[in-house]
Structure formats: structure tokens, C-alpha cells
Amino acid sequence: MRTLTCFKSYDIRGKLGEELNEDIAYDIAAAISDIRSPKIVVLGADSRPSSASLKAALTAGFVDHGVNVQDLGMCGTEEVYFATTHLEADFGIEVTASHNPLDYNGMKIVGAGSRPLDPLTEMDALRQRAETGGFKKAAQAGSITQVDPREDYAAKVISFVDVAKLKPLKILVNAGNGTAGPTFDIIKSRLLAVAAPLEFIEMDHTPDPRFPYGIPNPLLPENQPRTAAAVQKHGADFGVAWDGDFDRCFFFDKNGGFIDGYYIVGLLARQALAAHPGATIIHDPRLVWDTRELVEQAGGHALQSRVGHSFIKALMRESGAVYGGEMSAHHYFADFMHCDSGMIPWLLIAELVSTSGKGLHELVADRQLRFPTSGEQNFTIKDPAGALERLEAELGAEAIEVSHADGLSLDFGEWRLNVRPSGTEPLVRLNIESRGDVTLVERQLARVQALLEAM
């Protein structure tokens, strides 16, 4: 029996070839069919060269085992989430590697109602069945139907804002040659049809599997200058850039300054609490002080989740939270099937800029000073678990609080850190924040970095 290494903490992700290929995709579909007996499955794919063939293999695996496939074609991950609920399907799968290198691909899977699969039970059972193989085809093959619910999806996205409150704004949007462009076009046309006073400057808008300007990952510092320069060149009020499957969006202020996703979580949390007083807000453990303070000030309840869409979506459903945010720029909304969206946040920020009379820089400037951060630092380490143990041995005695809720979090009073293995890549990720002391962040970052690099 083979071992499938493409099954990660909450997604399927692997290097093309041995880790993930068409045969494995077929067996994943067959395994879902065998252990869950779905009747309808929604499939979508991003614009990567390998995504179409992997989706075709999934389709064959489902059809051969009697499952009806609703094919969305090329689309973003959140469109699969929407369609799974909208079309009352039993499963939804987006073939995507998001921001991973071109020689990677993967799948994001949800069940009925766009509910995530539990990593410890459902995903593990799926892996085991796919590894076992020996599938028997159904007597009656399933069907394939091409569907396009994008207009309904766009209407849902726009429903999150009051268009009448929008003021004239110029917004630069960078699709990164990923899947965001065609979907944005529908949202844009609907906004303009109801006289939304928004002007858009579009760049890298057409899907291009060659990714001529690099893999669409706006979180990488080397990918930010082009967007920043375009914002300044066109005099935009702010800029938005998406990753490859646009379930994350990133913001630039009018000066081209990149806004860490951490501070956007705080802005969206306050907006959510203005609409839902006293509600619960979910945050991740990597950076926490800004979000917790803002939620408390707004009369809400802050609740920490493990990193990852499966964990946050499950906790949102369990707790009744109205919004959840990760510093990595995933933003989750209860009214969007408890799922993450890269299109809803920029509309909400446009509404906030319109109603507050403040630019994006002004909205976050005081928070950046109050809780400065290191930015996420990534390290390639062969033994992540051992590295975390050794780091705790070095620094744990100085901390006033130690948490293993997700990786290792150490709180030293005036600064804190979180270091955790990536759930999708062979990396250890480090984040540091302080209470208003940029120099302290820099000093402790150098200290922790030296410890990690010596491991």
C-alpha cells in the first residue's frame, strides 16, 4: 500500500509527479465516492497548467463511481465554496496550489453546506481509503454538467456593503495573472450597474498560467513593489492584490505602503461589531494583541483558533462568530457560509474609507505604532518539532506565558512570539510583536532568528 504525502493538515498539497498526479487525483475522487457516497460534487480549478488535467482526473474518478459533477471551469476557491451551498452539492473541490511554486498543486475540499472536513477524522479517513485503492466502478456512471453561478456569487459578495454609502474612490486591483480577473469583472459590472462611484485601475488582469511577473503571492516582499508603484502612478486611493485562487487579498495605501493583514483583521473586526454588537470574533495565534484590544474596545468577544481554514470555519460555526481573520489575509464571514473570501474584504474597506472620511493609511497608522510586528519570517528547518522544543528550552524561562495551542507562543509582557510549522509548506514561520517598541521587535527578531538558523 502506498503512502500519500500530499495530505496536509487541512488541505491537499504536493509537488507534481510523485506527490500529486492524475492517478492520485482519480483515487481521491474514488475514495470520496466510496466512503461518503455523494450524489453531486462541484469542481473548479485555478489557472495553473496542471490544474485542468487534475480536475479532469477528479471528474473521471467521480463519474466512474456514479457521482454527478457540476463543473465550474476556471474559478476561484471561494466560488467553489459558494456553489457547493448554492447548488446544494454534497462536496466541493477547488484544484489549486494558491501561492505555491509552479511545480506544486493541490485541492481545497468542503462538504455539504461548504463545511470543512475535519483534519483528524474525515481527511485522515479519506487519505487512508485513497491509499488502499482497489475501487470498483459503479454500474451507473455519473454525469457532467457545466454550470456558471458567477452572477449569483457576485450578487452575494456585493450584498455585504451598502452601495449607497460608497463615495468616489479610485482603486487599483492586481489579479496577479491568477483567477481573480474574470470574477472581478462580473462584480465590477454589477457595481457599475447600480451606480457605485468606484473607478478601477486593473493590472495583470488576464489569467496567464506562465505567471510572467512571478507566482501571485502578494505577501512576498519582492512581489509588492510593482503594485505599490502602480498605486502611486495612478493616484489610487488604495490598492488590492490577490493570490492565485483569490481567497486572500492584500492592501496598499495611497502612498504604496503595504498593509500587513494583521491590521486589516482589526479594521474588519470593528466593522463586524458595529453591525453585530457583542458578537464573537475569531483570530489566529500568530499575532493577537491588536485584534484582542480592538474587539474588547468595541464590546465584542475575541476567540482564538488554530491556524487554517478548516479550524477557523469549524470554530466559527461552533461559537456563532460573525467574522474571523488570519494575519495571512484570510477573512471569514458567517454570512458567506462561514468561509473565507478575497472579494468581500476590499468592498468592506471601500465602504469604511467612504464612511470614515479617512484614508487606509490613517485607519491603521496608530495601530501599527501601538503594536509593531516583525512581519512573518520563514525558515527551512528539517526538524520543526525539535526546533520548537529547543527554542522553548532557550527562551521559555523568560516568558510569563507559554502556549502550545498552535506551534509555540511565548509572551514576555512587552513582546511576544509565535513560531509554528507551516501546514502547507516545509517551513517554520515566526511572528513577533511588541507593545509600541519597534526597536524591541528588531532586537528580539535578530535573537530568535539566530537561534533558529543554528538549529
pLDDT tens for 41-99 read 999 999 998 999 999 999 999 999 999 999 999 999 999 999 999 999 999 999 998 88
Residue 355 pLDDT greater than 90, yes or no:
yes
Instruction: Write the pLDDT tens digit of every residue in 234-259.
Output: 999 999 999 999 999 999 999 999 99
Q: What pLDDT, on a 0 to 100 scale, did the predictor assign at position 423?
A: 67
| CATH code of domain 152-370 | 3.40.120.10
pLDDT the model gives residue 424: 64
Same fold? 152-370, 377-453: no
Q: Is-above-0.85 flag for pTM?
A: yes
**What architecture is domain 12-148?**
3-Layer(aba) Sandwich (3.40)
Predicted confidence (pLDDT) at residue 300 exceeds the cutoff of 80: yes
Stretch 94-121: mean pLDDT: 93
Place of cell 450597474: 193
Quote the pLDDT of residue 145: 98
Most confident stretch, 54-68, 112-126, 203-217, 411-425: 54-68
- Assess whether pLDDT exceeds 70 at residue 171: yes
Phi-psi region of 428 (alpha: psi -120 to 50; beta: other; left: phi over 0): beta
Residue 18 confidence (pLDDT)? 87
pLDDT digits (tens, 9 = 90+) for 207-216: 999 999 999 9
Mean pLDDT, rounded, for 4-28: 94
Share of the chain above pLDDT 90, in %: 91
Q: Which of 347, 323, 348 is nearest to 336 (CA)?
A: 323
Please tell me which residue in 51, 98, 305, 434 is annotated as part of the active site: 98
Instruction: Verify whether residue 98 is a known catalytic residue.
Output: yes
Based on the number of CB atoms within 10 Å of its own CB, is 158 exposed (0-12), middle (13-18) or buried (19 or more)? middle
Per CATH, the homologous superfamily of domain 377-453 is: Alpha-D-phosphohexomutase, C-terminal domain (3.30.310.50)
List Cβ neighbours of 240 (8 Å cut-off, separation of 6 or more). 171, 172, 173, 174, 249, 250, 251, 252, 346
Domain boundaries in the chain? 12-148, 152-370, 377-453
